[in-house]
Amino acid sequence: MNGGGFMIKIQDTQNFLYNRKLVVDLIKKSNIDKNDIIIEIGPGKGIITNELAVRVKRIYGIEYDVHLYEELKSRFLNVENVEIIYGDFLEFNLLEKYKYKVFSNIPYNITAKILLKLTSFSNPPEDIYYYSRGGS
């Protein structure tokens, strides 16, 4: 609930990517390769997850919306290098012992909190790639 007493739905604060070509172009411009472990914050519909799955060693997708989580869990059930986790990224225990990168289309309303968590952690990511588009 926000300060005005209105409920805010996660789908009202996140813009989903639908353009596969844009996602592929963003990944190609990154420093991500087949040996990388990726944390994807809010995989949503799975378009980024799908493209990363064929390009990296392992993906941990943390999804807050239970309906999206269930869809993603089913969609990536047989993809060995993808693990979909239900929960709030801000409560997620980051990887202590492994090098990792973050690639995500994050909800604009929590961008600052996410970046603070990532950059202040004892084992911060090697790289952070994020796409965030604010509301109008």
- Say if residue 62 is exposed, middle or buried (CB neighbours under 10 Å; 0-12, 13-18, 19+): buried
- ∠ CA 78-81-84 to the nearest 5 degrees? 75
pLDDT band at 46 (very low <50, low <70, confident <90, very high): very high
- In a 3-state reduction of DSSP, which class is residue 97? coil
DSSP label of 110: G
Least confident piece of the model among 32-36, 53-57, 60-64, 93-97: 93-97
pLDDT tens for residues 94-134?
Answer: 988 899 999 988 777 888 999 999 999 999 999 999 876 65
